[in-house]
Each structure stands twice: as C-alpha cells, then as structure tokens.
Chain A
Amino acid sequence: MELRVAGIVKESVVDGPGFRYVIFAQGCNHHCKGCHNPDTHALDGGYVVDTDSIIEDIKQNRYIDGVTFSGGEPFLQADTFVHIAEKLKETGTNIICYTGYTFEELIEEKDENRMKLLALVDMLVDGPYIEELKDLSLTYRGSRNQRLIDVKSSMKEKTVVLEKLYRDAV
C-alpha cells in the first residue's frame, strides 16, 4: 500500500519513550494556530512511500524501542496505518499515535478503519494544539489540553485512562 508522508525520522527521543522510529503523515485538517509542522498540512504535499519498505526498514533497525505515527493527521490515512500497525504487532512492536482529534471524538465517530487503528495503538496523544495552552515542560506534548492516553485500558473501562507513567505530569 502507499502512504503519503511528510518525512521519516529513524531515531527520535522526543516522540515517546526510548528511541522511536517516527512516521510523519502528510496532510492535516485541524490547522492549529502555531502548529510546529505547518508544511505537513497540505493533503497533496510530501511524498509517497510503499508500506512494505517502511515495515522492512523498521525491522532492520536494531535499536528502536517502538514506532510513533505522527503528522500531519495519521487518522486521515487510517487504513494504511492499520496495515502497517498490524504488521508491526506481529512482532509486538510498541506503537504510539498522535492525533488532532480527541479520544472521545474518535470513539463517537465509529469509523471502522479509525476504530481499528485505535485498537492497535498502545498510547494515544490526543487533541489539537492550542497555542494559549503551550507549555515547554510537558512530556511529549505541546499544549496542556493534550493527553497521553493508555488506549487498551481506556477501551476496556470505556473512559479515558491516562498513561500511568505520566499521570503526575498532566
């Protein structure tokens, strides 16, 4: 399958715990004021890569602790990310996903592909970036409204459960 990306970073220490392979999706519909990556907004920007080559590249990388989907808005290409996530889960890779939607919005929407993607993600960083709530001290996030969500527990308990490690920092 083909994925439209803004870029790929093979060793990141700021997009989740440990060293992470980060796929920045191209295309975003939130247009947050003060966005850190405005170049990723255009739906026809960036470049197209083959998902198999990404998956292969991730498997080649000896040192990463997990993979992060960022953007752009990954949920605009939910079906393709589901494909990648399913392959990665075969080897138990930890997956983090950033989104400008809130967890509740995604649940209520009941879009089949988006629900599937959500189910494959270990931690979700949700909500739009709100410049007025910008805070440099936050872990893996830009503004105070954004949350680090333990997706598995949240699905089970049918309410948002914050990631245990970072609960204090919220």
Chain B
Amino acid sequence: MFTKIRKRDGRVVDFTKEKITSAIFKAARQVGGEDYETAENLTERVISYLFKHIKDEIPDVETVQDAVEKVLIETGHAKTAKTYILYRSKRTRIRETKSELMDVVKDILVETSRDNANVGNSPSAKMLQIASAASKHYYLNNVIPEEMSRAHIVGDIHIHDLDYYGKTLNCLQIDLTKLLKDGFNTGYGFIRPPKRIGSAAAQAAIILQSNQNDMFGGQSFPHFDKSMGEVIRNQCPDTTDDEIFQAMEGLVYNLNTMHSRAGAQVPFSSINLGTDTTPEGRKICEAMLKAFGKGLGKGESPIFPNLVFRLKEGINMNEGEPNYDLFQLAINVASRRMNPTFSFMDASFNKRFGDEVAYMGCRSRVIANRHGAEKSATRGNIAPVTINLPKLALKTKDIDVFFMELNNILDLCSRQLVHRFNVIAALKVKDLPFLMGQKLYMGSESLKDLDEIREAIKNGTLAIGFIGLAEALIVLTGKHHGEDEESWKLGYQIIEGIKKAADNYAEQYDLNFVAYATPAEGTSGRFIEKDRKEFGIVKGVTDKAYYTNSYHIPVGYQISAFEKIEKEAPFHKLCAAGHISYVELPSSPKSNLQAFEKIIKHMAKCDIGYAGINFPIDECRSCGVSGIIDNDCVSCGSEDIRRIRRITGYLSTIDRFNDAKQAELADRVKHAF
C-alpha cells in the first residue's frame, strides 16, 4: 500500500487518509449527511480502488480526487458526488485565476498596462498596476455576486474601476469655498485658512491631491472663480493682478506635477468657472485662463486642470453682457489649448439650477438629488456601470428581442450598482479620512469616525452607462444614427429606454440612479475584442479596434459639424449623469475665433449640455514651436514632438493612449476643413 502522495507543485508528502474522509464528509454535510462512519468506509473503498489501479506508484492529487468521484457515484451517493465535484471545480477555477493573476503581474512588469491614458511608466506606476490587478481579481472572485462578475468577464457589461470596487467611490465636486474659509487637516496637522491668494492656490492644489487619494475618479472645483474671489474680497483685497496671475500659474504647474495617485498619476482635476461677475471673481477667471493659455515652462500645453467655462445668457454669452470679455478670452485660449471646454447653463435640463451645474472633466454631472440639496458642491458619482450595446444587438439581431434583453441587462446593472453601493456604504468614516473625515461629502457633517458612510453617499449618483449606440444600430438596421433618420429615432428610443429604466430604479431603491454617456476609455477596446472572438468580423461593427463612444456619431463618418451637433444634442438631456459632444477641427482655429464662437452658439441653440472642440496640438519639445507637425519640427528639425489629443474628456499625450484609443484617433475625421 502507498504511503505517499504527490502534490500539485510536485512535492511528495505523507499520505493521510483522514484528508479524504474529511473532504467526503464536508461534501455530504452540504446535502444533509451526518454520518462520519460512512465517510470512513467510502475512504477505504477509494484506497482499495487506487491500490488496484496504480499498484505501488505514488498517486497525485488529481488521481485521488478522480477516484473519490468515481467511488461516490458508484456507491449511489449522487448528491454528495455533485457537491464534491462542484467544490473541486471551484478550487480549480481559483487556482487557475491565481495563475492568470501571476501572468498579469508578469505583463505589467514588462510594460505598464494602458487602460488609462494618464498613468506613467514609473516603478510606482507598476506597483499601482499590480495592486490593481490583485484587487480586481479579489473583488471578481470573492465579493461580487457570480452572475454580475460573469456578465463583466464575458463583456455584457463593464464594471468600472473594479480595483476600487469596495474601497471607495468615484468623484467629487469639492466645496472649495468652505475649505478655504474653515481650514482643514490632511492628517499631519491643521492648515489655517489662507490670508493671501498665493497660499489659497497652493491649498487648492493640496485639497485636490488629498482627496484624490481617497477616491478613484476626478476631483473638481464647481465654482472656482467664486471660491477664490471670496478669498481676495475677505482676506487680501489689495492683491495685485500680477499676484493673482502668479498664483494661478502656480496652481497649473502644481496640477501637472503632483504625482499623488500612488506616485503614478496626477489628480484628474477640473475647474469650473465663468459666471462670477464680481470684480474679484472676474480677475480669478481671467488670470486662470491666461495662465493656462501661457502654458508650462517651455510653453507646453497643460494637460490639467480640465477647465470648464460656464456659459449663461445675460452673463457672458452675448456682447454687452458683463463677462462677455471672459467668454472671448476663453475662446482664445481654447483655440490654442483645447481647454477650456464649455458647459451650457441655459440648456433645458440645466436652466432650473441657475448657474449651479458643474461638470467633471470626464463629463460627469451630478445635480438632482432625492436626499438633499440639489447642488454640485460636496457631491459626485458613486460608481458607473456600462452596457455593451453592440453585443446585445449582435446576440439578438431583432429590435423587439433587443429591447427585451436590454431590460434584463438594465435590471442586472441596477442590482450590481446597489450591491456596490451597499459594499461602499458599509465603509466607516475613518476609511476615507479626508473625504469623510474632513466632511467634504454632503451628509458627512454629523458622522463620527466609526460611523458608516451610507447616510452621506446616498447623495451621490449611481450611473447606468452604455457604449456603441452607433454599432448597435448598424446591426439592427444596417445604418447608424448619423446617416439615417429612422436609425436615429430608434437610437433615441433605446437611450430613452435606459433613461426611463434609471428613473424607475431611482424610485424602486430610493437612490439617485441616472443614465450616463460613459467615457469608457479601456472598455471600448475590451468589449470589441471579445465580441470579435464570439461573432467574427462584422462590417461596420467589429471590424475595428474600438466601439464608438456612447451616443456619438462614428468618428470616421463624414458629417457637417453643425449637423453632428444637431444629431447628438438630444441625447444630452437623456443622459443626465454625464454627456459630452465634440467637434473635430483639422488644426488650431486660433486665427478663426469667429468660427469657434459660431460652433459654441450653435451648441447652445441645439440644447447641448457640455462640449469640447478638438484639434491636434503638436509641440516641439526642443524649440517649443506649436502647430501641425507631420514628422520633424519645421523650425528646428527635432523629432521629439509632444502630441496632445483629447480622450474621454481629458487631454493626454498620444504615447499614453491604449491601442483601441490610438486606432480611434487614427479614424477621427474632421468635421470642418
């Protein structure tokens, strides 16, 4: 009789039959068995079976387990056998995913993964990516209900920022006014309210940085001109224009240099401004625009912050209005730097909030609230999930079946978001020391260190997003919504369906569910790759490296800029959790500002909520010349060119784009020449 057994890693250890007995007994108990003696008898049968078949060889674990299965079935213990087999396959899956994880780690150590265009290549970046891979693995296999993690893995849906699933929530519009008035504590001591504009700007950077470490998404100031203007008014009314400019320039520098996200990423910062008409607020706005326009040390275009210029009739939209000059300055800067982007306070869905609606650079918008004040500051998105619309269409091929399946997926998404909400809601204030500890979130004011954060975060939004409306329509009707009126109507109906479902979930769960035009940076490539494997190459659908963003008209389709705006605008009001539209220009429109203003005004007329005007920015790193540079710098011949483009809302340099987004970039056609 054998006395040894070979483990999976090849080591030979002493054979103990109690281990077999214990495994059989555990499986039996799962189905109501209580008799240990039967388990012992079965173990004897397993051993004699093995002895008969392998003689004196040393058996390995798999052989022993096969024998157990065989004996259980042959002796009529079917239920116990089933439990045993299920347990065994689950263990196998865990072992396999562990080895997948090791493969992922190996890949990361070769080159940093490119899911996010603004993560660098530093050792800390690699460390961050590995921790992220391990976290994803953990949440998918141990925390998220299997039905949902399966839907994510097969690509029916995408659960965003999985690595942060249970650690924290997405983004925040920070109440800068309050923090600069009351002071704050980053954990190493109290920071006094600023007495000078320079310190206020430095503190603003520290606040963005500190809170970025407590969250996985963007950090934004909803009323930067008002917050900073108040500091000047109350603390330092004698501040000179030059001092204000220096302060804003310092902030821009800070936001492009502080690698505060585990040493790998600068905070995803956004700054909303444009409607403060006080002299101090106007000066802040002007200085910030000018500092951004001036660029970094060699005149390079800043990547951060994402500036969002608010437009409102009576304040800055038309000649003669008090901040029209700032609108003109904003156009001037945007025509060279692709920033600011523009938000429209008079859009039908924004108007009732005055000039309160703030946007996050990625496009998120948080305003309506079932549980408290309807304002931007102190709130944000909790988490998004994205539906793979093209796959749904490829699976169903029929409009009626598509809508039925869409309802099932929406239902799954709502339950997934509620699950995530409950996991995060159980976190304690002390888990998020700055965000909750320093009372940055609405409703966190009265919470103590060991309290759950549930009462606070119910003021945030749960976003149900989607990708690839265009490709889904091509599958269902043969044409996308940019080229055919009937397809457009169907597209509108689909997104309206998502909106109505979100409204229903809001009622059902009493949480802020909202429909969302997901930015989907990593998702666009992940989905299409899976779908190509499953459905093959489908023309206009899976024959490229990316799915078209949200409700956007395909980037490769020739269409008038004005028509594109008209066709995309109606989707803005359906996607209240966030929306954006772009117009692509072939080069910087800096010498044609009237064209720029005309597009912006057309956007306002069409009920657009948030938009950006894109064009290539190529900058020579050697001599600083900027323009369209094909290969070498036209001025000094250098090949070291920094190429900046907009991706999912934020700016980035091309070398940081992932493959799918690089492919999309190559396909983007300009809407005007």
Q: Which residues of A contact B (CB under 8 A)?
A: 9-19, 22, 62-63, 65, 134, 136-137, 139-140, 169
Rounded to whole Å, the gap between the CB of B338 and the closest CB of chain A is 15
Q: Point out the residue from A11, A134, A169 that lies within 8 Å of B561, measured CB to CB.
A: A11
Contact B598–A14 (Cβ < 8 Å): no
Q: Point out the residue from B585, B586, B592, B671 that lies within 8 Å of A18, measured CB to CB.
A: B592
Q: Residues of A contacting B594 with CB < 8 Å?
A: 17-18, 65
Could you say which of B560, B626, B634 has the most chain A C-beta atoms within 10 Å of its C-beta? B560
Contact A139–B598 (Cβ < 8 Å): no
Could you say which of B561, B562, B586, B592 has the most chain A C-beta atoms within 10 Å of its C-beta? B592
7 pairs across A/B with beta carbons < 8 Å?
A: A9-B673, A15-B673, A18-B592, A19-B598, A134-B634, A136-B625, A136-B634
Rounded to whole Å, the gap between the CB of B299 and the closest CB of chain A is 13
Rounded to whole Å, the gap between the CB of A4 and the closest CB of chain B is 20
Rounded to whole Å, the gap between the CB of A78 and the closest CB of chain B is 24
Rounded to whole Å, the gap between the CB of A65 and the closest CB of chain B is 7
A-contacting residues, B570-610, CB 8 Å: 585-587, 589, 591-592, 594-596, 598, 602
Contact B634–A19 (Cβ < 8 Å): no
Q: How would residues 613 to 641 of chain B score, 1 for a CB under 8 Å from any chain A CB and 0 otherwise?
A: 00000000000011110000011000000
Q: Residues of A contacting B602 with CB < 8 Å?
A: 63
Q: A11-B673, A13-B673, A19-B672 given. 8 additional CB < 8 A pairs?
A: A13-B589, A13-B592, A15-B673, A17-B595, A19-B595, A22-B673, A136-B625, A139-B591
Bound-state CA distance A63–B628 (Å) is 26
Q: Which residues of B contact A (CB under 8 A)?
A: 560-562, 585-587, 589, 591-592, 594-596, 598, 602, 625-628, 634-635, 671-673
Bound-state CA distance A137–B673 (Å) is 17
Q: Residues of B contacting A137 with CB < 8 Å?
A: 627
Contact A11–B634 (Cβ < 8 Å): no
Q: Residues of B contacting A12 with CB < 8 Å?
A: 672-673
Q: Point out the residue from A18, A22, A136, A139 that lies within 8 Å of B595, measured CB to CB.
A: A18
CB-based nearest B residue for A134: B634
Contact B591–A11 (Cβ < 8 Å): no
CB-based nearest A residue for B596: A13
Contact B562–A63 (Cβ < 8 Å): yes
Contact A14–B562 (Cβ < 8 Å): no
Q: Point out the residue from B625, B627, B628, B671 that lies within 8 Å of A11, measured CB to CB.
A: B671
Contact A10–B634 (Cβ < 8 Å): no
Q: Residues of A contacting B625 with CB < 8 Å?
A: 136
Contact B634–A14 (Cβ < 8 Å): no
Q: Residues of B contacting A134 with CB < 8 Å?
A: 634
Q: Residues of B contacting A65 with CB < 8 Å?
A: 594-595, 598
